[in-house]
Structure 1
Amino acid sequence: MAYELYYWDGLQGRGEFVRLALEEAGAPYVDIARGSEDDGQGQSAMMALLGSKTEAQIPFAPPFLKDGDLIVPQTANILLYLGPKLGLAPESDLRYTVHGLQLTIADMVTEAHDTHHPIASGQYYEEQKAPAQARAADFLAHRLPKFMRYFERVLAQNPQGDGHLAGDSLTYADLSMFQLIEGLHYAFPRATARFGSHYPRLARLRKAVAARPNIAAYLASERRLPFNETGIFRHYPELDAKAH
């Protein structure tokens, strides 16, 4: 049976981290909200499940994954579940290292989101532009370098090397790091213009993931939604500082 992925249509968002794992593994899946309502899919099917009065496992919000009768919520939790099944996580205790890296990536994703919505998610960006500029300036000057220096050090100190964050083979954390870097380049092209010189190992990881056959095919397909100003990573020129 195909996995069922539930996430908002029209944006990459947090669901994209799950899509990348499924695409890399060549796993069959259905992106429910993007399907036809005539086939029992579409966004209404997702909302019906979220509002279910009979389902024992009710997720708070997308993304969530349905595998048979099991519903798995939260991006990092979904990847913890899928990783061993898709061959994208070690079977040893190192899988908890991979999970920890994914959670740290999730922390940075939240901070990137909050650069354009620092006050309230329910308000438009235009209603909080001044605080957003202050938040983005701090993010680019302090938080982005702190996170990236950490991930660069993780790559350098991986005892098994080979350009992976953990272990000697590709994991879902590597795929998620690729997506994080892609999002940062979209949102802050000026600030990340010299990314490769500051973080050469991360730049090589990004390039290596993009070149993997299944990922390259996915990136070139219509299944890969473009970044836009409704997702986590948004490009507002006034928030993008010059590269240091």
Structure 2
Amino acid sequence: MASVAHFHYTTEQIQAWLRGLLTIAWADGQFDPEEQELMTQLTQDELAPATDLGELEVISPHELAAALGRDKHTAENFLRTAVMMALANGVYSIEEAKVINEFVEALGLEIQALKVLEQTLYDPDKHHCEGEVLETGVCSAAASPLSPVRPSHPHSDVLEPVRHWLDGMDIKDPRVARFVCKMIPPQCPFERDIKLFGRKIVHIPPMCKLNPLYEQLVGLRFRSLCYLADDCGEDVSQYC
């Protein structure tokens, strides 16, 4: 069997990639202990084993662009993972969009799909919860889906450019493929209740009900699994 050539990002690119994702995760102040534990695991096990999450800091758009280099495919693949992470809970917040747009500008890109996605921005001052409201009367971002976009034609799919763009991510580096397989769960997470001091404060429905781009995330995971199994010859049972 002929060996398969793989594209490997440099250590500097991977570290900048991680710092970029962390910068977005911290943008809306919702980087909870579970997310931090996941990022630590992904960092140490898959992308940069020699890197301690505690050593990673937020990254400026200029630093990110300098580290990733001038390859547009690398830049777009980073942005796809950034958007994927931002959309994981079905909410695209104003703070996350601001950071991503700054990255886009620094990377010298113009991505129409992101302009479309901005039509779904979640503004807590303008939107009400689709699910239950906190007992304090405050709407939980985790319970609020991407804002619906009204199409100009009844049969049009306004988010189609976003779907197409996310589907265009190249999977060429085994570390990034493993990252995607662990970042995206193997099946739609079950709904759950969030409790504080023994009392339910909010109900979160399954992610597939929250996120109209869930199929794109699952498709990206499937392509990553196929790449690891078919091209890299890895046992992917641990991700299933």
Normalising by structure 2, we get a TM-score of: 0.34
Normalising by structure 1, we get a TM-score of: 0.34
